[in-house]
Amino acid sequence: LDIDKYPLPKYDKASDIYASLITRLKADLVNLKPTGTVLRGGDIYFDGNNGRWEKFGNSLLLKLGIALADINPSLAQSTVNDAITGGVMASSADNCEFKYLEASPNENPIYQ
């Protein structure tokens, strides 16, 4: 972040970033399988339900694959297929919502 030392910083290509994100997300999805690590306490989105987290992760994987469609069609196709095979969010019942808590500091700002 030193503009004097690096006036024209080199940025990574978006296609490289997306490929890396896909690899990392696929590795993380393994932990959300029924035999994987169970999320305990503090999960205000899905209350520790790995199946719902897996759907969320696969839906994110689907989004990443679609974003690559014009740049790397083969990676996009395999990523989208993997996501759909793994199961994606299909209805509003699958939504990931932030639920405000009743106690400070996480109560609804309208309450204040």
Which bin fits 42, alpha (ψ -120 to 50), beta or left (φ > 0)? left
pLDDT digits (tens, 9 = 90+) for 16-27: 999 999 999 999
The token duo for 63 is 């989004």
Mean pLDDT of 70-93: 95
The answer to whether residue 73 scores a pLDDT higher than 80 is: yes
Within-domain flag for 62: yes
Q: What proportion of the chain, given as a percentage, has pLDDT over 70?
A: 90
pTM: 0.79
pLDDT for res 111: 66
Give the integer Cα–Cα distance in Å for 98 and 48: 14
Within-domain flag for 96: no
Number of independent structural domains in the chain: 1
The token duo for 74 is 């083969």
- Domain boundaries, position 34: 14-88
The answer to whether residue 92 scores a pLDDT higher than 90 is: yes
Within-domain flag for 68: yes
